[in-house]
Each structure stands twice: as structure tokens, then as C-alpha cells.
Copies of this chain bind each other. A is one copy, B any other.
């Protein structure tokens, strides 16, 4: 959906048939239900909650304040953690020469069709075409060889947050599949494989924390199949999320062990004698993160934000009545915000006098603020406020006396119950399939399929071939670290050969 399409959809949103009256008044309602038309619902939520602005170049989006803040909160957490791991910050250039990009053949093959090329500056042609980084392995590793002069310089660990570009031609989708996107990429080098392996899991655990503890999205930790691993990696680990509405898995973040693929050969040989002992690892948390959170928690009223990442955790709304002292109510709201802020709670008041309280309720529901506090004349009299949870609509009166404690407790509860409820819905989608028929049936029902597998690449290719269709082929999502028991003699669901492991299968983004 480009700019123009968005304007049309806004038109529909304001003047469409469903809940016409409300939307005409508020211009806030969604014209598409989450279960009705998931794709349109998703776009509408992102635009109406002011997370995303559509742009006049397809696949490029404006990330607005409401989303940037979430990104920054994750960044702050991650940066603090990796600082303790002595990871250094860096900012590598946006451009790569074609020669450097070509150095790692198997690696680059995966990106080549999507690389954006700068060929002109002003009116002059450049001597050499420059690629915009689709990822930074070939940009960074040559410099590792310069900077690592002997074993004292190991381990070397660098990390950057940056924009990368992949000119995908399939259907773009904000956060999920965009041509320019933002991510974090960490690149490290160690003397031993043991250290490298440890780093892979340590970083993967941080990614799990971001998804489960910040975004309240349950994920599965596991290893990618040979077919699905990162081009050029020894092995790839990932965390996998699942979107029940579409029955699709989505790779949440990856952590790779590159072995000596990028290091030992042309780069490191130059300066480093003790070869055969360098291992490189890196991890990345990609753009989709926020999109997954929106898809998992959002509802027909709009966005639902987990308190830990919400730019505003509490919105205070004055509810004046005709015969009441309005000023007193506005003052009480301001004082409440001050009290909450002092306690480190991200609170604000909606003091706009040209909107009704009802309009404001809808507005902040659309924006997904976890907790709404209403203050009217009766609340003043009773020295209390009315609190309304965004996630389940529950209403309760909170005494002003212990407001901070109660609000903190409520926010914790909301965070927890968002995760629990998401996990319940995700778990309800998991279906064990032991035979091909069970597999096909479960796939038709949009399940997250757990199946015994012989772990052969040819078999995965065959499954992809046999399931391909309009909605995309099924593939392995991951082999979970947490393996169910495998009874002796269990057969692969697809090949009938002896199964070696349980793996998750499904369609994916």
C-alpha cells in the first residue's frame, strides 16, 4: 500500500459501512476486523495508531514516534547487556564495492538479486558501482583482520544499529518485509569454538528476553535446518514467533556461528599466523520485531502495547461534568501525572479541551496505552481514580493513597497477562503430525506443526515442493532445543525414514 492507497483506505475508514456513526464522529474506528481481513487490519492499526506513515516509494515506510520509542527501549536494554559483555559500538559505512561484496560467493548469492546499486553521483557515472549494504559481513570482516594482530586482540566484538537495504520485489509489509529496514548486527571473533558457541546462546537468550519479557511475545528457541540457515554459516540458531491469525511462523531474531567461513581464508591469513582457531559469530535482531508485537496483541480497537515498551504507560483523562469544577479536575489530573512520573511511570494527561472524554478513550485505545485513568468529580470527592485496562477492559477504582503501588502492580499484571494470553493462543495452534496426511491437514488448519523428521535436506526440499501454492510452501521453522521424547523407531512424517529429531514446520513470513 503506497501513499495513495493509504489515503483511500483512510477514506474507507472514515466513511465505510461498519460502525459508521462512531467512526464519523471519532475518525478513529477501524474499518477492518482482525479476524475479518487481517492484512488490512494490520495496515490500518499501524497508520491509525501513528506508528507508521506510508511513503511514496513502495516498501519504504516512515517510522513514527509511537514506534521509534519501542525500538529505543529495546535498544537501550540490549546495549546495556552487551556493554557488560564488552562488545564495542561501531558504525560501518553504508556502501560496499562490488569487488568486496563478491568475495564470499555462497554468502552473496543469497542477496544478489536484491542489492540496490548506486551508479551515479550528480550527473556523473561512478567509476565503480556501489552496493548499499544488504548485511555487513563483507564490510566488517576485512577490518577484523587489520585490527586483530595477535591472540591478545581476541575476542573481538563489535555491534552496530543501522539501516540496511534489500530491494525485495514481493509484497511489502511495514516492519515485516520492507526494502529499507533497521536492525542490530553484532560481529565477533574468538580463539576457540567453545567461546563462539557460548556467545551464540548468550545473544540468543537476550533476543528471547526482548521478545518474551519486553514485547510479551512467546518464542521458540531452536536451530535452523541446513536449508534454512544463513548463507555461509556453520549453523544458525533463531527464536521463532507465530501469528495465529495467519498461521504463519516468523523468524524473530537469529544468532549464527560462522565457523571459519568468513575469517580463516583470504582475510585473516594476511596478518594472523595461528589459523584454524578463529571462529566468528554474530547475531541480529531485525525490523519485524515491532510488527510481530502488533500482530500478536492488537485487537479490533487497535494497538495493545505491553507496558514495558509503551511510550506512554498510563494516560490520564479528565472527565468534567457540566456542574462540576473543571479546573479542579484538570489540576487533579496534572498532579496525578506528576506523582506517577516521579515514580518512574511513563504517564501523561490528555488535556485537550476540544475533544470529549469518549473520543479520548477511543483515541488512546487505538494507540494501545496499557492503562487509562479517568478522573471525574465523584472520584475527587472519594479521593480515588477510575482505572481501565486496555488488554481486557477491566475497570477498577484505585485509592489515591497508594496510587503508585497499585499502578505499578497493574502494569506488571498487564505485562504478564499479555504474555500468558499470547502463549495460550500460540500453544493452541501447536499440532503434532506424525504422518503426511496429518501434516497436510494441520497445514490446512494453519497450525504450527511439530513433526518427527529424518533431518535430510532433500526431504525438506520435497516437502516445500509438495506444499507450494498460493499461500506459500511449508518449511522447517526450527528444531527446538527443548525436544519432546522420541520413542525408538519413530518415523519421519514425510519420508518414512527413521526420525532423528522433532522440528517445527509451517508457512512463514
Chain A residues engaging chain B, CB cutoff 8 angstroms = 53, 55-57, 60-65, 68-69, 72, 88-95, 97, 100, 112-123, 129-130, 132, 142-143, 146-147, 152, 158, 162-163, 165, 167, 169, 180, 182, 352, 354
A120 vs B68: C-alpha distance in the bound complex, in angstroms? Answer: 30
A67 vs B68: C-alpha distance in the bound complex, in angstroms? Answer: 24
Q: List 13 A-B contacts (CB under 8 A).
A: A57-B93, A57-B130, A60-B95, A62-B90, A62-B92, A64-B90, A65-B158, A68-B90, A113-B122, A115-B121, A116-B121, A132-B132, A163-B163
Do A152 and B352 contact each other (CB < 8 Å), given the known contacts A57-B130, A62-B92?
yes
Do A117 and B113 contact each other (CB < 8 Å), given the known contacts A89-B72, A143-B62, A152-B354?
no
Q: Is there contact, CB below 8 Å, between B163 and A94?
A: yes
Chain B residues contacting A143 (CB-CB under 8 Å) are 53, 62
List of 8 A-B pairs having minimum Cβ-Cβ separation, nearest first:
A121-B167, A65-B88, A60-B93, A113-B122, A68-B89, A63-B91, A117-B120, A119-B119
Q: How many copies does the complex hold?
A: 2
A116 contacts which of B100, B115, B118, B354 (Cβ < 8 Å)? Answer: B118
- Beyond the given A56-B142, A60-B93, A68-B91, please list 11 additional residue pairs across the A-B interface where CB-CB is below 8 A: A56-B97, A62-B92, A65-B158, A94-B165, A116-B120, A116-B121, A118-B132, A120-B129, A132-B132, A152-B354, A162-B163
A100 vs B57: C-alpha distance in the bound complex, in angstroms? Answer: 11
Closest B residue, CB atoms, query A352: B152
Chain B nearest CB from A338 CB (Å) reads 14
Chain B nearest CB from A374 CB (Å) reads 22
Q: Is there contact, CB below 8 Å, between A95 and B65?
A: no
Q: Is there contact, CB below 8 Å, between A167 and B122?
A: yes
Do A120 and B121 contact each other (CB < 8 Å), given the known contacts A60-B93, A93-B57, A93-B60?
no
Chain B nearest CB from A180 CB (Å) reads 5
A63 vs B91: C-alpha distance in the bound complex, in angstroms? Answer: 5
A65 vs B94: C-alpha distance in the bound complex, in angstroms? Answer: 17
A419 vs B12: C-alpha distance in the bound complex, in angstroms? Answer: 60
Chain B residues contacting A146 (CB-CB under 8 Å) are 53
A91 vs B121: C-alpha distance in the bound complex, in angstroms? Answer: 24
A352 vs B64: C-alpha distance in the bound complex, in angstroms? Answer: 46
Interface centre among A56, A147, A158, A182 (most CB of B within 10 A): A56
Chain B nearest CB from A75 CB (Å) reads 11
Closest B residue, CB atoms, query A92: B62
Chain B nearest CB from A116 CB (Å) reads 5
Closest B residue, CB atoms, query A10: B146
A163 vs B94: C-alpha distance in the bound complex, in angstroms? Answer: 9
Q: Is there contact, CB below 8 Å, between A88 and B113?
A: no
Chain B residues contacting A93 (CB-CB under 8 Å) are 55, 57, 60-62, 180
Closest B residue, CB atoms, query A149: B27
A167 vs B119: C-alpha distance in the bound complex, in angstroms? Answer: 12
A100 contacts which of B56, B90, B114 (Cβ < 8 Å)? Answer: B56
A142 vs B64: C-alpha distance in the bound complex, in angstroms? Answer: 15
A88 contacts which of B57, B64, B162, B163 (Cβ < 8 Å)? Answer: B64
A312 vs B184: C-alpha distance in the bound complex, in angstroms? Answer: 24
Q: Is there contact, CB below 8 Å, between A118 and B115?
A: no
Q: Is there contact, CB below 8 Å, between A89 and B62?
A: no
Chain B residues contacting A112 (CB-CB under 8 Å) are 122
Q: Is there contact, CB below 8 Å, between B62 and A91?
A: yes
Chain B residues contacting A95 (CB-CB under 8 Å) are 57, 60, 180
Q: Is there contact, CB below 8 Å, between B114 and A89?
A: no
A147 vs B90: C-alpha distance in the bound complex, in angstroms? Answer: 35
Chain B residues contacting A100 (CB-CB under 8 Å) are 56
A309 vs B44: C-alpha distance in the bound complex, in angstroms? Answer: 43
Chain B residues contacting A63 (CB-CB under 8 Å) are 90-91
A121 vs B168: C-alpha distance in the bound complex, in angstroms? Answer: 9
